[in-house]
């Protein structure tokens, strides 16, 4: 798929500096928001089996029921989006699933940081500085099976050097493990 130059010109007409593109309220963040929302519109139409405002949708037992607000954490920071809903609650968008709070391989980035020996506190600070996202330790802690297997895969594939996940003797012992104790095998 190619993007027309006219579209790019329109998007960049108010561009003055890199902050306009990559900043907290830059065009990349707005574009990601709009693309996510736009991608869900035809999906609910397909799910319900009729176009918005179509008379064929009357008395079908399920219909559109507005939108709900949701905040997604991504590499662009927090993105507030509007997710379409249906009356029966059976619509499940594939691009942003129910209860999903992260996109853009956020999970893989967090797992990679664990595998490199970063503590939960280090990861929190890193996400705040790089992406402007404040996250709780519970959000950072990945699912046990996923993180343990991914950490092992990264270490076995040679993507991590042996020194990159060696605990530092200057840190307290509770903060030195790259994998939370709840994820360690017994």
Kindly write down the DSSP assignment for every residue of 39-63, as one continuous string: HHHHHHHHHHTS-TT-GGGTTSS--
pLDDT of residue 74 exceeding 90: no
Rounded distance between C-alpha atoms, residue 21 and residue 23, angstroms: 6
Rounded distance between C-alpha atoms, residue 124 and residue 10, angstroms: 36
Contact between residue 86 and residue 106 where contact means Cβ atoms under 8 Å apart? no
pLDDT in tens, 129-182: 776 677 777 767 654 444 455 555 555 555 444 333 433 434 443 444 444 444
Supply the pLDDT for residue 153: 55
pLDDT of residue 19 exceeding 80: yes
Geometric angle at alpha carbon 13, from 7 and 14, rounded to 5°: 135
Rounded distance between C-alpha atoms, residue 54 and residue 42, angstroms: 14
Supply the pLDDT for residue 180: 47
Kindly write down the DSSP assignment for every residue of 95-112, as one continuous string: SS-TT--B-TTHHHHHHH
Supply the pLDDT for residue 25: 82
pLDDT in tens, 76-122: 788 899 999 999 999 988 888 888 888 766 777 777 887 888 888 88
21 sits in which H/E element: helix 18-22
Supply the pLDDT for residue 61: 86
Supply the pLDDT for residue 157: 52
């Amino acid at each position: 798929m190619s993007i027309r130059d006219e579209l790019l010109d329109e998007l960049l007409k108010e561009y003055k500096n890199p902050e306009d593109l990559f900043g907290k309220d830059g065009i990349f963040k707005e574009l990601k928001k709009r693309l996510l929302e736009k991608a869900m519109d035809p999906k609910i139409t397909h799910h319900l089996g009729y176009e918005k405002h179509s008379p064929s949708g009357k008395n079908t037992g399920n219909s559109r029921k507005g939108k709900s607000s949701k905040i997604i954490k991504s590499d662009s920071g927090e993105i507030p989006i509007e997710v379409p809903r249906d009356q029966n609650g059976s619509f499940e968008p594939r691009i942003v699933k129910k209860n999903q709070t992260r996109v853009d391989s956020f999970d893989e980035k967090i797992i990679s940081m664990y595998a490199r020996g970063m503590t939960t506190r280090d990861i929190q600070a890193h996400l705040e500085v790089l992406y402007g996202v404040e996250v709780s330790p519970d959000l950072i802690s990945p699912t046990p099976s996923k993180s343990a297997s991914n950490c092992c895969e990264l270490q076995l594939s040679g993507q991590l050097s042996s020194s990159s996940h060696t605990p530092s003797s200057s840190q307290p012992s509770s903060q030195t493990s790259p994998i939370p104790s709840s994820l360690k095998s017994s």
